[in-house]
Amino acid sequence: MNAPVEGFSKLSKAQKIDWIANNCTKDAKATKQLLERYWNADEAVQKLHDEFIENTLSNYYLPFAVAPNFLIDGELRTIPMAIEESSVVAAASKAAKFWLTRGGFKTEILGTEKVGQVHFIFKGDSKTLSAFFNEIHAELLKSVSAITENMEKRGGGINAIELRDWSDKIEGYFQLHCTFETLDAMGANFINSCLEQFATTLKEEASIYPNFTEEERNLEVVMSILSNYVPNCLVKAEVSCPISELGDNDMAAREFAEKFVRAVDIANVEPFRAVTHNKGIMNGIDAVVLATGNDFRAVEAGIHAYAAKNGQYSSLTHAAIEGDRFKFWIEIPLALGTVGGLTTLHPLVKLALEILQHPSAKELMRIVAVAGLAQNFAAIKSLVTTGIQKGHMKMHLLNMLNQMGATEEEKAQMVDYFKHNTVSNASVKEAMEKIRAK
């Protein structure tokens, strides 16, 4: 089982499946049938999926859903979401409906600047290096003119190149810290192409710089890569209403507002709570990022770094009572794209962007931030009133019933029964046993 294999990437798809089935699983026939069952019936679509990544065997499906009724900056939107977790879409939809009649969500783009760096080692005098950098600054920009030409025509390009000294942390470590505007593209390929050319130019110019010693001319470029931490690519989303409009059957309005603000304050000072608090926010954000073909791992990394920007990991959202008004907002870094990558390739990504009325990158930033804020509002509302499990477990009920092999008739009976009863693993099992005993 699972022996070493040579040249796996050169095998055909059928040969890869055969090898996996025969060497890594107990039932080769069942494995092949399972993998083939998830192929797309449209051969052209399947070929497209096969070529997204390497060594493709099949497709791994996630539910593709929508959350309607989002009023964002006066415009009604339906938000597509791709996620497997129960209650996320329901919670987002519920929050959207709640704020629909209370003014909706307001957003603001605070910045769109992306970051990339050339990391290098220079063993010499930092003042001489600084003088060298000032002399070659124009040459660095000139060296990437062919790469930046089209981006500049659209209003983007390179914002700045700085020399930064980190030699107090690592001996001889310096970097070119570069900032970019990439418009509707996420910009990873554009940024990395520029950085690699900067690195080449840096080495070439250093090798002939007359004021360097022989050792200084041999500066070592360690790596050139964009950063997924984009603290100046920021969006803010908020909701607010009179406190009197917050009341419902679960709790009086003023009490709800005060408990809500307290819950957010706790996430601001207590990292154990903050992590779970922010995870709930990312339920909404990741689902939209994934549905629109963006890189949710990059978004996650950048947002969590931002949550720790003050030296301690804390809440991404904030809440306040200002006079007789309740205010709730989020401010997060988001580097997103609506052109390039999967946006023009994956059929469901194209559909998701169509559902969103073909947003620009800035508009998508606004939408994604709202999804995160809505998710957090729904979660905190549940936590400070009925508790999180009541709603979540009811949404999880069908998953539990499917695990038990329930028939459609049994599902209907169970769903009806648990409209008025508490859902838990034990209670569902007990109820199912009673139904089957009859």
Instruction: Mark whether 259 is an active-site residue.
Output: no
Give Dmax over CA atoms of the chain in angstroms: 93
Q: Where are the domains of the chain?
A: 8-50, 64-108+231-380, 114-227, 392-437
Residue 125 known to be catalytic: no
Q: Where are the alpha helices (DSSP H) in 66-220?
A: 88-100, 126-143, 145-153, 188-207, 214-217
Catalytic residue among 49, 114, 346, 392: 392
Tens of pLDDT, residue by residue over 308-320, are 999 999 999 999 9
Is residue 295 flagged as an active site residue?
A: yes
Of 85, 108, 258, 331, the catalytic one is: 85
Among 203, 279, 304, 318, the active-site one is 279
| Whether residue 392 has pLDDT greater than 60 | no
Q: Among residues 235, 245, 255, which one has the least CA distance to residue 329?
A: 235
421 to 88, 341, 353, 391, 418: CA distances (angstroms): 21, 47, 40, 12, 5
pLDDT tens digits for 14-55?
999 999 999 999 999 999 999 999 999 999 999 999 999 999
Tell me which residue of 49, 46, 51, 54 sits closest to 16, measured CA to CA.
Answer: 54
Catalytic annotation present for 119: no
Residue 11: is its pLDDT beyond 80?
A: yes
39-44 long-range contacts, Cβ below 8 Å, gap at least 24?
Answer: none
What is the enclosing helix (H) or strand (E) of 239? strand 234-242
Q: What is the pLDDT of residue 424?
A: 72
Residues 295, 346, 381, 394: which is the catalytic one? Answer: 295
Q: Which CATH number fits domain 114-227: 3.30.70.420, 3.40.50.720, 3.50.50.60, 1.10.3720.10?
A: 3.30.70.420
CATH architecture classification, 64-108+231-380 = Alpha-Beta Complex (3.90)
pLDDT at 156: 97
Task: Write down the pLDDT at residue 391.
Answer: 57
Length reported for the chain: 438
Residue 355 pLDDT more than 80? yes
**How much is the pLDDT for 428?**
79
- Strand, coil or helix: what is 310? coil
**Range from 117-121, 207-211, 417-421 carrying the lowest mean pLDDT:** 417-421
Comparing 90-99, 191-200, 237-246, 384-393, which segment has the lowest mean pLDDT?
Answer: 384-393
Mean pLDDT of the chain: 93
Under 8 Å CB-to-CB from 187, ≥6 apart: which residues? 114, 180, 226, 335, 337
pLDDT at residue 395 above 70?
no
Model confidence at 415, pLDDT cuts 50, 70, 90, reads confident
